[in-house]
Amino acid sequence: MNLKKILTKDSVLLDLRTDTKQEVIKELVTFMAASGELISPTAAVQAVLAREAKMSTGMQNGIAIPHGKTDAVNQLVAAIGIHRAGVDFDSMDGKPSHIFIMTLSPENRVGPHIQFLAEISKILCRSNLREQLLNASTADEILNLLTV
């Protein structure tokens, strides 16, 4: 999967401002909606929250990958958010999440959604890369780290 086609400067939010799981999800969806790719931000939030209710997407090592399937999008879309202080996201290791990768994809398309999640998970398993992401000060820096 070519992450450069999905992740752009317009999909990077360097400083998340909210401090709860639900607020982070809403903030990222609102940010994504500004790109014009969401048909219904409300439906997008509901899809991600419904997925979170089944099982938290807070991974470990400061990473959360909230995602959902919804007809609020016509194709896979994604956003990256950085929260320097961290947010309790019910992570597997019990630690706060700092790096958020949100993706939404259409209900009827499985392949791209799974491919994106697998690819981004593989990239984020490197501790030096996670540290560089947290220290990045521009969207370009973040994109260069994730799409090399």
pLDDT digits (tens, 9 = 90+) for 45-82: 999 999 999 999 999 999 999 999 999 999 999 999 99
pLDDT digits (tens, 9 = 90+) for 18-37: 999 999 999 999 999 998 88
Could you count the other beta carbons within 10 Å of the beta carbon of residue 9?
Answer: 10
Specify whether the CB–CB gap between 120 and 65 falls below 8 A: yes
Domain count, the chain: 1
Q: Which domain holds residue 129?
A: 7-146
Overall average pLDDT of the 107-124 stretch: 86
Specify whether the CB–CB gap between 73 and 6 falls below 8 A: no
Distance between CA atoms of residues 136 and 1, nearest Å: 24
Could you count the other beta carbons within 10 Å of the beta carbon of residue 40?
Answer: 15
Per the domain annotation, does 97 fall within a domain?
yes
Specify whether the CB–CB gap between 78 and 115 falls below 8 A: no
Distance between CA atoms of residues 99 and 131, nearest Å: 10
Per the domain annotation, does 2 fall within a domain?
no
Per the domain annotation, does 1 fall within a domain?
no
Q: CATH number of the domain that 134 lies in?
A: 3.40.930.10
Per the domain annotation, does 58 fall within a domain?
yes
As a whole number of Å, the CA-based R_g of the chain is 14
